[in-house]
Structure 1
């Protein structure tokens, strides 16, 4: 039985605010609008955990 490493992918760690597909993924994951996601990234960083904390969402 092979072990699968629990290493997060880049998408799981950072938000590519310039990618419509990535924004759509994170908007759905966080349950926020595109504008709310853009504002949260602008105020914090592209790190998903930081944006989630800013939005009050647990990852």
Structure 2
């Protein structure tokens, strides 16, 4: 095996390792995005519930005779 072939094999192995690491980082980032989307959905539900309670309180206050 000559030097050029050895060099090209090393470059290919290095690129394959880099690709694998990048792929694992992508998977981790996608998992984090999914977790954040679930958290955002839960927070949105909580805000909606709080808003409904607030509107109910305001309606009761407005209906109370002064």
TM-score by length of 1: 0.22
More helix by share: 2
Structure whose alpha-carbon radius of gyration is higher: 2
